[in-house]
Amino acid sequence: MELPADTRSITLEHMRAFIAVAHCRSFQKAGEQLCRSQSAVTQSVKRLEAHLNCTLVERGNGHTFGLTTAGQRLLPELEDILLRFDAVLRAARQPELRGRITVGIPPSFSTVELQAAVARLLALNPDLQIGVISAMSADIDRMLADGSLDVALINQHRFDSSHAAEGIFEVLAQQPLHWASGGHIELAPTMPVPLATYSEGSPWRAATLESLRPYSPVIDEILKYRTYAKLLSTYVDGLLAALRGRFDGGCGFPHEIGLFLDYPPEDVQAFIETGGEGCKLCGYWKVYGDEQSARACFMRFDRCREALCGALSRGEGILQFIEKHRYAA
């Protein structure tokens, strides 16, 4: 069978994304495995389908998942291609990395993906030592310049293309910014806009003020924070105060507390609106949205509970258990 000419544009990234999705049966889990965002994995699979001019993944409501007949046929073929390709790379591989590298990340970056990437790098290079420094992006930029850091992830409001020309920086992802405010806030044209922002030098502060400039508002920066943790702490303190008021006011149990437990927002909202009736699944919480993802999550919780209970019965401590499984894939 003659393949379309567009197949020449298929990359290893496309193939690895499809294989990960097929085995994980979830775009989100595949992204975690590949240390990529869910949207990036989704786009890779879509591009592979476009290049082959066929559908490989069946997508239903929510995150319902399955491979089409074409996807089932293609999966072992792509796995064989990657196995042979990886074997060629291993045969031509340079000596393992040794020594120490220091990585800088902003406090707002998730450490989960970083831990997974570090674990994979150390598995390939056991003699390599990796140090991680958390600092604001402006400070990280300076540390890169003076040689204190070897590699870093930074936030920039606008990417400086001159860096790309120097081969120093590469854009990994672009994220849109959204406004968030309390639903009770009403602003008159002459009323100062109360803002909780980062301090001077933050790319997010610059983006915030620039987005307001066309409207020429009076800005009242009531709170300034240097770190994401401090800003988030104030936000969480405000939510806790609101919940405390709900308890003290005798208005019933505040079911939005499920958001603090990382329940899906759509499930929390549906529970409140329906009074807990008509859910699709009842487990660690009542599920109204993505049932398949919730079932997979409940199974992970069950496995974690069983593993922890088994460790405790063998005399292991909780901290010992956490450290043992910190970098587990």
**Residue 327: inside a domain, yes or no?**
no
- pLDDT reading at 58 higher than 60: yes
Look at residues 166, 187, 221 and tell me which one is the last residue of a structural domain: 166
pLDDT value of residue 93: 62
Global pTM?
0.39
Can you give the pLDDT at residue 80? 87
Asked whether residue 55 carries a pLDDT value surpassing 70, the answer given is yes
| C-alpha dist (Å) from residue 300 to 10, 158, 172 | 34, 39, 30
**Domain match, 36 and 60 both:** yes
Residue 159 lies in a domain: yes
Cα dist. 291→33, 62, 257, 298 in Å?
22, 8, 21, 10
Mean pLDDT of 222-249: 63
Phi, psi of 198 (to 5 degrees): -75, 165
Asked if the structure places residue 152 within a domain, the reply is yes
Asked if the model's pLDDT at residue 75 lies above 80, the reply is: yes
CA–CA separation, 179 vs 87, rounded Å?
Answer: 48
Residue 297: pLDDT band (50, 70, 90) is confident
Domain annotation covers residue 86: yes
Q: Determine the pLDDT at residue 220.
A: 59
Looking at residue 302, what is its pLDDT?
A: 87
CATH code assigned at 156 = 3.40.190.10
Per the CB < 8 A criterion, the answer to whether 116 and 329 are in contact is yes
- The pLDDT, as a whole number, for residue 287 is 92
Helices within the chain (DSSP H only): 12-24, 27-34, 38-52, 69-91, 111-124, 137-145, 161-166, 203-212, 228-248, 265-274, 291-313, 318-324
φ/ψ of 221, rounded to 5, equals -80, 90
Q: Among 166, 190, 217, which residue terminates a domain?
A: 166
| pLDDT confidence of residue 212 | 73
Query: Containing domain of residue 138, as a range?
Result: 99-166
- Encode pLDDT of 303-326 as tens digits: 888 888 888 888 888 877 777 766
Q: What is the CA radius of gyration of the chain?
A: 24
DSSP secondary structure code for residue 53 in this structure: T
Strands 65-67 and 57-59, bridge-based pairing: antiparallel
b/e map 223-253, b = 16+ CB within 10 Å = eebebbebbeeeeeeeeeeeeeebeeeeeee
Tally helices (H) and strands (E) across the chain: 12, 9
Q: Residue 112 pLDDT more than 80?
A: no
Residue 83: give its domain's CATH number. 1.10.10.10
How many structural domains is the chain composed of? 2
Closest to 108 (Cα-Cα) out of 207, 209, 233, 194: 233
Between vectors from CA 119 to CA 117 and to CA 122, what angle results, nearest 5°? 110
pLDDT band at 227, cuts 50/70/90? low
Query: Residue 323 falls within a domain, yes or no?
Result: no
Domain end position, chosen among 57, 91, 125:
91
DSSP annotation of 100 reads E
Looking at every residue in the chain, the average pLDDT score rounds to: 76
Can you give the pLDDT at residue 165? 45
Assess if residue 62 is contained within a domain.
yes
